[in-house]
Structure 1
Amino acid sequence: MDKAEFIKKIAEDNLNLGEFQIELNQITDAPYVMGCCFSQGVWKIYKTRERLGHYIIKEFENESDAFNYFYELVLIQHNRTVSN
């Protein structure tokens, strides 16, 4: 899926990510962010914690592969939040 399809799917699924926010436009060091953005020629999947900035989970050359992978990570976070 591409970025627009991801945004639509997240809205339709009404996922609960607990304290995490989703960022799709840039890499940020704000606390509790899960993100996917195009940076330095690749799609980067990243996450932040309460402190210490961001860390890159995985990089993709293809937008579709990146957002498919990112959606799976978002679902994992949703399932963790719902089960607690």
Structure 2
Amino acid sequence: MTKNDFLKRIESEKLNTGEYIIVVDYLTDEPLVMGCTQENGKWIIYETKERGGYFVIKELPEENEAFDYFYQFLLSRHNYLTQN
């Protein structure tokens, strides 16, 4: 899915991400962020921890692949949080 499709979908489904915020326009090391952005021709899915600094979860070549993966990642987190 495209970035715009992803944004519409997570808004309509109101996925529970816990304390994390979603960022899709840039790479940040702010605390408690899950994000997907394009850097140097690659799409990067990343996460930051409570004290800041980011780590890359996955790199993908195409926007559709990246946002499909990121959506599934968030959905699994949502399912975990709502079951516990």
TM over 0.5: yes
Task: Report the Cα offset of residue 53 of structure 1.
Answer: 0.5
Partner of residue 80, structure 1 = 80
SS in 2 for 1:43: strand
Partner of residue 28, structure 2 = 28
Structure 1: runs of 5+ lacking an equivalent: none
Identical-pair percentage: 45
TM-score (ref. length: structure 2): 0.94
Deviating beyond 2 angstroms after TM superposition, the runs of 4 or more aligned structure 1 residues are: none
Task: Report the Cα offset of residue 52 of structure 1.
Answer: 4.6
Q: Is residue 63 of structure 1 aligned with residue 63 of structure 2?
A: yes
CA root-mean-square deviation: 0.9
Change (3 A) 1:18 1:42: same
Partner of residue 13, structure 1 = 13
Structure 2: runs of 5+ lacking an equivalent: none
Cα displacement string for residues 34-82 of structure 1 (whole angstroms, at most 9, x for unaligned residues): 0000111110000011125000011111100000000011111111221
TM-score (ref. length: structure 1): 0.94
Distance in structure 1 (CA, Å) of the matches to 2:70 and 2:78: 12
Partner of residue 37, structure 2 = 37
SS in 1 for 2:35: strand
